[in-house]
């Protein structure tokens, strides 16, 4: 599974990345996590507010940082 965290590199972006990794670990998923900070690439996903989460090239979340439990549901 390929996970991308879209954002400027702010605290919320780092928190989202950490929680996504934790959720994947709890589910036993093999994931590759990539940080995307390029605004052009972020805009190409149609994301207008960050942080955002892209799973296998599908935007699943934008503009907030969910809990680990919420992320587990998104990744399951």
**Catalytic center residues:** 10, 13
Please choose, from the candidates 19, 53, 58, the residue with its C-alpha nearest in 3D space to the C-alpha of residue 36.
Answer: 53
Integer Cα distance of 32 and 53 in angstroms: 13
Integer Cα distance of 70 and 15 in angstroms: 14
For residues 72 and 3, the answer to whether their CB atoms sit within 8 Å is no
């Amino acid at each position: 599974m390929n996970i991308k965290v879209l954002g400027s590199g702010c605290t919320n972006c780092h928190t989202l990345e950490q929680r996504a990794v934790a959720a994947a670990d709890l589910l036993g998923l093999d994931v590759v996590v990539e940080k995307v900070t390029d605004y052009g690439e972020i805009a190409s996903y149609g994301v207008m507010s960050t942080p955002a989460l892209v799973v296998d090239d599908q935007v699943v979340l934008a503009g907030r940082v969910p809990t680990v439990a919420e992320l587990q549901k998104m990744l399951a």
